[in-house]
Structure 1
Amino acid sequence: MLVELRSTGCQTVFPPSIHPSGEAITWHKEGQPTQVSKAELEKACSKLASAVLIAKHWPSQGTRQDTALALAGGLIRLGFGEEEAERFIEAVTVGAGDEESRDRVKTVVYTARKTGNSPTTGWKRLSELISEEVVNKVLQWLGVEKREEEKQSRPNVEIKLWTATELMETDFPEPSWLIPGILPEGGLVLLAGKPKVGKSWLALNMACGLSNGGAVCGIPAEKAVKTLYLALEDTTRRLKTRIQQAGLTPNENSLISTTWPKLNEKGLTLLEETIKQAGIQVVIIDTLAKVKPSSKSKVVSLYDNDYEMLGSLKELADRLGITVVIVHHLRKSESEDPLEEVSGTTGITGAVDTILVLKRARTEADGTLFITGRDCEEQELALRFNAGRWEVLGEAKLYEISKERREILEAIEKLGGSASPKEIAEITERPHGSVKHLLRKLEEDGLVTSFNGRYSLTTSLNDIHPDNSVHPVYSIHSIHSVHPIHSIHRSPGEQGEYSVNDTIHPEKCSNDEPFGDSVNAVNTVNGEPVVLARSNVSQLDIEVWEI
């Protein structure tokens, strides 16, 4: 006897009676009777009978692990959840007197899920290990025909095989951008930074800027898209305040929520349903920790946990053709490689398509954004945080050079307009050699003059990039780097006459006010004239920056 299911009109014997077969009748669990539907009871009895039948035919030592693995694969393919499969296998192994029942349960379900449709798992392999007759009966009791189950287990995947010649002869479209140079269209993106560095401000700017086709970090979005922003560390009141502080434009294309279930608690399913119903094109999850599965089998490595978690989001993004941005934290320790600063294992950075690392020193407005990915060039941009918004200033290394030069000029001004390298080094706390190198560059550019070992300003600091930044140029397709490419020079004593050095052609560079106090440097982008910089012509040399 495996299971008896009795109903009205049948005599029932209770413990401590003895069954006619000689077996003692005992309670499975202590407790009060409860109500259950006929269908639920029949399903539970079918599972119990199946587990008992397999337990009666459980093999001896030597093949038990293989048998448990095959059973786990079969149950998972029938739609059993991980916990449900673990309970079933535990019932079988305990009933069979398997001494390693507990350890076996911990490993086989995870292994079976990872190996997928491997020949080592599933009902076919179980038939070889115990008995085809037993397996057929179990499948019957579980309400599944074996042939149908095996058919369902076959992957319905089309595989395209390319020759190297075909690959080289095929024209593939260039990657498209939502925010040129920063946020690509499609795939999984990681935005990482230390706590309170401004990640959530940037995420909010992305959500609102993309939804109305406005600017993000001062760069116009390529198009307006519908966004879903899961601000899981914020309150609705705080979000309203931040939108007002940043001067963002609210609109119907931007959906916001401050609560969401974890991915393994129907969070992933709810996310897919919301994306489809609302037509979402960009999802921003702030932060990863809020949706990270709360529990996982202890035998699974941390790397596998991280990679599998983000892999589910990447699969969703790729399948639906959307962009998913995950906000995450950096470690406390610094590293020369920005990717090594991302909190967690390399499974996180390995699973995503694009990585953005935001850095900003405490109490400072300026920061950097490191960008790398599968389809974008590695770069680091200088940013400035102002009134709730981040703004791109230019390529980080060149912006830092600009800051260093200005510090030297400010030091000379503080010292009365004339100073020695030693005095400048003391006030700026820079090495003496570094100061002398910067002074030579400034002298070459005509910003300082030297006499008897002292350096003096040639013009007021207000005339030299008064905003202390690289002039941003927004009419661009993609930012890769900012570099000084030309200078415009006015010969001394020749009012209104200007010459253009290097490669700007005369027809692409003009002076709209030939006898006035200013000059425009003009270049072309996509055939259209673009003003690169405007500066007072009291300077002999004017730097022009192009992005």
Structure 2
Amino acid sequence: MGFGEANGRLAAAQGYRGKDYSVIPCHSNKKPCIDSWAPHQSEAARKYQLEEWWSNYPDANPAIVTGEVSGVMVVDVDSEEGRKALEEFLPENYATPIARTPSGGLHYYFKYRPGLRNRVRAISGCDIRTDGGYVLAPPGNNGNGRSYEWLPDLDLFNVEPAEMPEILFDVLRQGVKCSPTETSAEQQTLILEGVCEGQRNSTAAKLAGRYFNMGLATEEVTALLETWNDHNIPPLSDKELHTTIESIKRTDERNNPKRQATQEITGYSASDLICKEFTDPRWIIPGIIPEGYGVLSGKPKHGKSILGLNMGISVALGCTALGSIKVNEAGVLYLALEDTARRLQQRLQQIIPDRSPVPENLYLYPQWPRMGNRGLTILREWLQEHSDTGFVIIDTLAKFRPPKPRNTSPYDFDYEVGSKIKSVADEYGITIIAIHHLRKTESEDRMDDVSGTFGITGSADTTMVLARKSGQADAILHVTGRDVESAEYALQFDSPTLSWQLLGRAEEVKSTEKMQAVFNAIRDHGQPMSPKEIFTATGYRIDYIYKTVPKLVEDGSVKKVGRGMYVCKERGLDG
């Protein structure tokens, strides 16, 4: 469609708007002419606004806002390598609008579909523009005499954006960096249409080998082949498909032992690293749970699921967690895989008082696929569609992780499962907590009580153990991790409201009010204290003081210094 220069650009903008696309004016350097274009990510500009803009900026280029507002997403190809990589996933005679850029690149327009996000180099030589993005459109130019132009018979006015092929959508969603390979028309058919019984296993093996050769990770290969398998008649069982993938993976590792060592190498010199500024880790529960992947373990029926739900509700509402810790509001996804909808409803009704706000950004799922059945892939899709999500609770890990393959060591399996979950947390900058079980026996180090191998705790950024302490506080929450100070917190459970309350550091919380008062007197005094001074400060009988102080020494919160003098252990002699 031919438009003139200045007036032609306004006419083009009006033409795009007439096709229900959201349009904004941009300079030749691709920056918007207007102060804020954010409103037009959700609502297209009116005709009078376009006329006003181009009256103020007659040389402005029309830009189409991508995403749901315009119903399009655009793959920006900036090299021949990128064109080959993209067209590898497009069937023959595939027609969708395509514009050539001033630099010789190509813009492929596809019908909008949620689930993708703006990414640079989503695949080799290709960027993706969707919600929150925009692209310059014909007849805009770069200020050097070169213009954007539609390819013959593939302009946006005469050709509707086509549905993106499923296999391409999955590749872009995974964000894999693949290189183009020669692909025959027969292979294209296998990828896009699937195969019939008798060809499924051999084809799965060919495709898995091809994807591993492209450098894709096992999870990415699995996600792509699961999508392909849906097109087969009938599909392979999950067990057959995953067995084939594992077999091809082992073959690829034997044939290419150096490939893993050459992928994604990142490093710094010591002088650069010591000067580099990193942002502080964000906290979902300040001081206790930072961003990243964590494991919360406890014995059955000891309240670990309730603790997870308490924290999820607090984060969704942006109120106080555990009764005293102010948290920032964020969306929460709770995978309650051992509960029913009815039980979850009863718990919510008990935890959230009448007339109190019910969090609209807390989502609870009693059913969710396992990791080996696209569970992590679906989790990534969820996070892309719910960008405000900051906290994910998996209850329980045993219900979410896949069965352990044969010939895989328990440690390697536990560590790989945790590492894959952690990769999602790191990718989206969120907190994921998996609820897990404890062994029946107790160890001196409570972290050693986590059921399974050290691969579970080794792969986690934060490890927490909820342990009942009879005769003292209702429970002790043991916390340790890479970004959190190792500590023990005393918690108290309120049955009527199904709520855990933080009492304080475990070493400072005693089993009775009188014992607590004795400890507080020693702590607050700040200097060595005699039993008579404690008697004066508390008013308790002297014989009770003489019986109680040795108990505080025994539990380690108070120590004896000199003859008959006592001081809070954490203060020492310096107070």
Tell me the TM-score normalized by structure 2.
0.49
Q: Kindly state the Cα deviation for residue 361 of structure 1 after the two structures are TM-superposed.
A: 4.3
- Report the Cα offset of residue 169 of structure 1: 2.6
Q: Give the alignment partner of residue 390 of structure 2, picking from 278, 281, 290.
A: 281
> Is 2:314 the counterpart of 1:209?
yes
- Residue 313 of structure 1 aligns to a residue whose secondary structure is helix
Aligned to 2:114: none
Q: 1:395 maps to which residue?
A: 505
- Residue 379 of structure 2 corresponds to 271
Q: What is the CA-CA distance between 1:263 and the residue it aligns to?
A: 0.8
Which of 318, 334, 338 is residue 446 of structure 2 equivalent to? 338
Q: Mark the runs of 5 or more structure 1 residues left unpaired by the alignment.
A: 1-35, 55-69, 86-103, 122-152, 410-436, 458-469, 471-481, 487-501, 504-547
Following superposition, the deviation at residue 323 of structure 1 comes to 1.1
Equivalent of 1:360 in 444, 468, 474: 468
In structure 2, relative to structure 1, the CA distance for the partners of 1:349 and 1:194 (3 Å cut) is same
Q: Equivalent residue for 1:467?
A: none
Give 3-state SS (helix, strand or coil) of 2:272's partner.
helix
CA distance in structure 1 between the partners assigned to 2:256 and 2:266 by the alignment = 20
Give the drift of 1:290: 0.9
Letter of the 1:199 partner, please give it: K
CA RMSD, 1 decimal: 4.7
| 1:66-77 alignment, distance < 5 Å | none
Q: After the TM superposition, which of the residue ranges 314-323 and 168-177 deviates more from structure 2?
A: 168-177
Give 1:163 shift: 1.9
What displacement does 1:343 show? 0.4
Q: Distance in 2 between matches of 1:50 and 1:239?
A: 40
Asked if the contact 1:73–1:112 (Cα under 8 Å) also holds between the matched residues in 2, the reply is no
Contact 1:310 1:351 in 2 (8 A): yes
* Greater Rg over alpha carbons, structure: 1
| Displacement after TM superposition at 1:342 (Å) | 0.2
Return closer, same or farther for 1:117/1:398 CA change in 2, 3 Å cut-off: farther
The answer for the alignment partner of 1:239 in structure 2 is: 344
Q: State the shift of 1:407 in Å.
A: 10
User: Is 1:251 matched up with 2:356?
Assistant: no
Q: Identify the residue that residue 300 of structure 2 maps to in structure 1.
A: 195
Following the alignment from structure 1 to structure 2, what is the Cα–Cα distance between the partners of residues 106 and 177? 38
**Which SS does the other structure have where 2:313 is aligned?**
helix
SS in 2 for 1:281: strand
How far off its partner does 1:182 sit?
1.3
Write out per-residue CA displacement over residues 55-77 of structure 1, whole angstroms, 9 at most, x where no aligned residue.
xxxxxxxxxxxxxxx99965996
Other structure's SS at 1:397 match: helix
| Paired AA for residue 257 in structure 2 | S
CA distance in 2, matches of 1:364, 1:271: 40
* Contact 1:76–1:113 (Cα < 8 Å) also in 2: no
5+ unaligned residues in a row in structure 2: which ranges? 1-189, 227-242, 520-528, 547-556, 558-567
Deviations 1:141-175 (A, max 9, x none): xxxxxxxxxxxx984x3x44322222223343333
What's the CA shift string for 1:74-110, capped at 9, x where partnerless? 599698759x99xxxxxxxxxxxxxxxxxx9999646
Deviation by residue 1:188-240 (Cα, 9 ceiling, x = unmatched):
01111111111111111111100110111113333100000111111222222
How far is the alpha carbon of 1:483 from its aligned partner?
A: 9.0
Equivalent residue for 1:88?
Answer: none
The 8 Å contact of residues 336 and 364 in structure 2, kept in 1 or not, is answered as: yes
**Aligned positions of 1:100-499 closer than 5 A:** 109=248, 111-112=250-251, 118-119=257-258, 155=263, 157=264, 159-184=265-290, 186-247=291-352, 249-279=357-387, 280-294=389-403, 296-361=404-469, 366-386=474-494, 387-400=497-510, 405=515, 442-443=534-535, 445-450=537-542
Percent of residue pairs identical:
34
Which position in structure 2 is the counterpart of 1:125?
none
The answer as to whether partners of 1:197 and 1:362 remain within 8 angstroms in 2 is no
Distance 1:396 1:46 in 2: 59
**How far apart are residue 445 of structure 1 and its match?**
3.8
Distance 1:263 1:364, change over 3 A: farther
Change (3 A) 1:272 1:263: same
How far apart, in 2, do the equivalents of 1:200 and 1:116 lie?
Answer: 45
Match of 1:423 in 2: none
- The answer on whether the counterparts of 1:358 and 1:369 sit within 8 Å (CA) in structure 2 is yes
Query: What whole-Å deviation, never above 9, does each CA across 1:459-480 have from its counterpart, x for those lacking one?
Result: xxxxxxxxxxx9xxxxxxxxxx
> Counterpart amino acid of 2:391?
V
Cα contact 1:178–1:221 (8 A) shared by 2: no
Kindly tell me: are residues 389 and 114 of structure 1, through their superposed partners in 2, closer, same or farther at Cα, counting changes over 3 Å? Answer: farther
Q: Which amino acid aligns with 1:201?
A: I
Question: Aligned pair in 2 of structure 1 residues 312, 441: CA closer, same or farther (>3 Å)?
Answer: farther
Alpha-carbon distance between aligned partners in 2 of 1:401 and 1:74, rounded to the nearest angstrom? 62
Check whether the contact 2:222–2:245 (CA below 8 A) recurs between aligned residues: no
Deviations 1:488-518 (A, max 9, x none): xxxxxxxxxxxxxx99xxxxxxxxxxxxxxx
2:476 and 2:203 mapped to 1: Cα distance? 63
Cα distance in 1, alignment partners of residues 346 and 197 from structure 2: 54
